[in-house]
Structure 1
Amino acid sequence: MGIDHLFWAIASVALGPIIGSFIALAAQRMPLGRPVAVSRSACDHCGRTLGPLELVPIVSYLVLRGRCRTCGEPIGARHLAVELAAAGLALWAALVLSGPAVLIGSILAWQLLLLALLDAEHFWLPRVLTLPLIGSGLALAAALGVEPLFHHALGAAIGYLALSVIGFAYRRLRGRIGLGGGDAWLAAGAGAWTGWIGLPSVLVIAALSGILALLVARLAGRRVAADTPTPFGVFLALGVWLTWLYGPLGL
């Protein structure tokens, strides 16, 4: 492992919990229409504004043993889980990629993590997040040259159109919404990052992982009706990550 790779790996993993803390906060506040970066964090029980030493990712939770320093009420482990997930995704990228690509992969993973959280918890893929995903993918492609930019822009267009058509057809045939509009924009982000050649792999991974999740839920005894909403964006995000990290299936 070279010094260059070690630097990017350590920097990305160290940045992970900080980004994860922001992701957890954004996923909690955005659906409520609350500002993400302006208002200070406070205890949900006693309302006391938290100090800087209580906001150190991972460390503060462990030192305080998961409880508010003032009222002693338990603090949910959700923030800790997201911080660890963000660091883990950066480590995953460091184990597969090298050099600055580690940070680029981490940035993709963190964008997908926030989108997956919002879809899993609120069935919501806001355009304020999917558009930057498209933009960052196209910006990376543009840095590689005109031809990569063309393939990735084409992928973004195909991804959006493909899921829009599928969603429209489903509504006409079944009389209810099967895919939300946010899924189409996320698919555009998938095409922007993986190019048109990676889109089939993204969709295959998303579909198979969605089916697997449904089977696991049923084996666990959960009753899942045919019209039960499914956060397909979670599985799309997984497909984007695996395809970008390892390349299209069969190639």
Structure 2
Amino acid sequence: MPIDRGYSLEHMLPALPIPIAGALLGLIIGSFLATLILRWPEGRSVMSGRSSCDHCGHQLRIWELIPVASYLLQRGKCRQCGQEVAPDHIAIEIAAGLIGGLALFAAPGPEGLAGAVFGWVLLTLGALDANHHWLPDRLTVVLAVSGLVASVLLVPVELIDRLIGGLLGFASLAIVAGLYRYVRGREGLGGGDPKMLAGIGCWLGWQTLPLVILGASFVGLLVALSWQVRGKIMTADSLLPLGSLMAVVAFPLWLYQAAGDGLLY
């Protein structure tokens, strides 16, 4: 006899427009995030003025701003000066689109939209950490506050679990950073890492924090192995962006939580 998993293709098909809409929204959000990630570390605003080429200043028309499609049609180059557009731009757009689609597939409705916001903030923090080893306080605060607000308004969990998650997330990495500094006499963790883990704890609860750290360590090991395969020399001073590694793990954990509450049962 076939196993009844509690859902079927016929049951899921009517809901597909919701995650598709989430993916499309994610592509639009991703276009903004890609610009933010490029310009914020340089002190340039993304809110004032029209979008333009970062090389020649050519003001982009509407058809040059369509996420992913414009990049592909223009072969990744500016139509005016022919300079290549940073490939990170399309990567961020695609990642944001996947986040929006997956979040609303796992939890169609307000909870899924909140989860997409969680993923988009993680994506921004992860990209900034990977490229600049920088986790802005303003974004880590947004991560924490949005997690607590979501737990109060949308997610049927105890707020105390999220508050403990925030406190333990910050304290655990702050203690590790302090011990490393005491033993080695130099910084081993950035100041933003404990704040980011606190924000993740505010979203996922304290119970998931060991999984976040273990998962980030495993992903970091894979990254280090890939560096060695490509001939990149690893030393004790080589920097791995812990914020990026935690971001890679945290959003799938949210998907698992959301799917466990609805989609899979």
User: TM-score under structure 1 normalisation?
Assistant: 0.91
Cα separation, 1, equivalents of 2:132 and 2:208: 28
5 Å matches for 1:89-238? 89-143=99-153, 148-238=158-248
Q: Which amino acid aligns with 2:131?
A: E
The structural deviation recorded for 1:61 is: 1.7
Cα distance change on mapping 1:2 and 1:212 into 2, 3 Å: closer
Cα separation, 2, equivalents of 1:19 and 1:147: 28
Paired position in structure 1 for 2:4 = none
Gaps of 5+ in 2: 1-10, 258-265
Deviations 1:91-117 (A, max 9, x none): 333454444433222211111110000
Greater shift in the superposed pair: 122-131 or 101-110: 101-110
Q: Which amino acid aligns with 2:185?
A: G
Greater shift in the superposed pair: 147-156 or 14-23: 147-156
Partner of 2:215, secondary structure, is helix
The structural deviation recorded for 1:8 is: 2.5
The structural deviation recorded for 1:145 is: 7.7
The answer to whether the 8 A contact 1:20-1:82 is kept is: yes
2:67 to 57, 69, 77: 57
Q: Alpha carbon RMSD of aligned pairs, Å?
A: 2.1
Cα distance change on mapping 1:71 and 1:144 into 2, 3 Å: closer
Greater shift in the superposed pair: 2-11 or 24-33: 2-11
Cα separation, 2, equivalents of 1:75 and 1:99: 35
Q: Which amino acid aligns with 1:24?
A: A
The answer to whether the 8 A contact 1:8-1:102 is kept is: no
Deviations 1:108-166 (A, max 9, x none): 11111100000000000001101000011101111258961111011101101111111
Paired position in structure 2 for 1:18 = 28
Paired position in structure 2 for 1:71 = 81
Cα separation, 2, equivalents of 1:239 and 1:207: 10
Gaps of 5+ in 1: none
The structural deviation recorded for 1:47 is: 1.9
Percent identity among equivalent residues?
Answer: 41
Paired position in structure 1 for 2:261 = none
Cα separation, 1, equivalents of 2:256 and 2:85: 37
User: TM-score under structure 2 normalisation?
Assistant: 0.86
The answer to whether the 8 A contact 2:169-2:201 is kept is: yes
Partner of 1:173, secondary structure, is helix
Cα separation, 1, equivalents of 2:238 and 2:122: 23
2:250 to 240, 243, 248: 240
The answer to whether the 8 A contact 1:9-1:103 is kept is: no
Cα separation, 2, equivalents of 1:12 and 1:241: 15
Q: How many residues align?
A: 248
The answer to whether the 8 A contact 2:111-2:154 is kept is: no
The answer to whether the 8 A contact 2:171-2:194 is kept is: yes
Cα separation, 1, equivalents of 2:101 and 2:155: 28
